[in-house]
Amino acid sequence: MITDIPFVPDTGFQPEVTPFFDAHSHTFSYVVQDPGSTRCAVFDCVLDIDYAAGRLGYAGADAIIRQIEREKLTVDWLVETHVHADHLSAAPYLRDRVGGMLGIGAKILVVQDYFGKVFNEGTDFQRDGSQFDRLFVDGDRYEIGGMTARVLETPGHTPACTSHVVGDSVFVGDTLFMPDAGTARADFPGGDARTLYRSIRRLLTLPEEMRIFVCHDYGPNGREVTHQTTVGAELRDNIHVGTASSEDEFVAWRNQRDSTLPMPQLIIPSLQVNIKGGNLPEPQGNGRRFFTVPIDGL
Ligand SMILES: [Fe+2]
């Protein structure tokens, strides 16, 4: 349950944040390091896929692993801000190589239930979040070395979206984009534009100087892709939810806009892997793994 208790973050420390950009899905992953130790968390790591060929790739995940090994970091957490519909999670690949506990929002159960049916998953697929090490609820805290991270449930883009406050930084997943890019769609199953607006408003009550790290950027109007802004900049300049936009205006605009958007190119393989914590489908009789494409299922 989301509380209305005012939350005053401890902005007195600054995690070291290293972004990694996946140009195919326009995703930013982050290595978030405790400056006082060699402990870190990895947010939203990406597994490459050439879907047309059914071929996986590991270059993006390996770049993160190289950074972890070069800096001799210990991975405390692998965090998914939500069940991504546009890329496969590389969390199991990273966990096998550099460790870390895998965490996601507890509302993953809602997503598992819905898409378990879409993909006709059998009883082997537990819809209880047990594929993850930790299911975060609002207000949860967890440690990254000497840093305490705090979880905020920020649903709307999907039901299981969470944002993570670490010192002067907040990792918002797809709850917010850069100010000139606005917001993410809210039309996936369980998504809701009004809920998204309220989640964003809640994030924007954080101190204005706090750094915001977004999960996606598409470089609108020809600018370079970028990943970092501030609460104050979003309040002033976000084209969808800046101070000028009312809730009702946002909801009407978001719903209209979403009705025109095509499905993400990788939604089919992404969801069936990501609802299982990034684990690939079990091999079939010939030892090969297969994605399932539900006809008219989405
Ligand atoms: Fe997303």
Q: Any idea what the CATH number is for the domain that residue 229 is in?
A: 3.60.15.10
Instruction: Report if residue 281 sits inside a domain.
Output: no
- Per-residue confidence at 3, pLDDT binned at 50, 70, 90? low
Half-sphere CA count of 37, side-chain side, radius 13 A: 12
Residue 85 CA, ligand 1 centroid: distance in Å: 6
Q: What is the pLDDT of residues 153-164, one digit of tens each?
A: 999 999 999 999
Q: Is a pLDDT exceeding 50 seen at residue 5?
A: no
Task: Count Cβ neighbours within 10 Å for each residue of 73-110 and write b for 16 or more, e otherwise.
Answer: bbbbbbbbbbbbbbbbbbbbbbbebbebebbbbbbbbb
236, 48 Cβ separation under 8 angstroms = no
For residue 167, what are the domain limits?
Answer: 16-271
Instruction: Report if residue 128 sits inside a domain.
Output: yes
Residue 8 CA, ligand 1 centroid: distance in Å: 27
Instruction: Report if residue 108 sits inside a domain.
Output: yes
Q: Is a pLDDT exceeding 50 seen at residue 190?
A: yes
Nearest-5° Cα angle at 58, 54 to 62: 175
Instruction: Report if residue 291 sits inside a domain.
Output: no
- Per-residue confidence at 6, pLDDT binned at 50, 70, 90? low
90, 78 Cβ separation under 8 angstroms = no
Ligand 1 ion: residues within 5 Å (CB): 174
Instruction: Report if residue 296 sits inside a domain.
Output: no
Residue 107 CA, ligand 1 centroid: distance in Å: 14
85: nearest Cα among 165, 162, 186: 186
Helix (H, G, I), strand (E, B) or coil at 247: helix
Count of domains forming the chain:
1
Residue 35 CA, ligand 1 centroid: distance in Å: 29
Q: What is the pLDDT of residues 254-290, one digit of tens each?
A: 999 999 999 999 999 999 999 999 999 999 999 999 9
Instruction: Report if residue 47 sits inside a domain.
Output: yes
Q: What is the pTM of this model?
A: 0.95
Residue 201 CA, ligand 1 centroid: distance in Å: 18
Residue-level pLDDT at 165 = 97
Instruction: Report if residue 11 sits inside a domain.
Output: no
Instruction: Report if residue 297 sits inside a domain.
Output: no
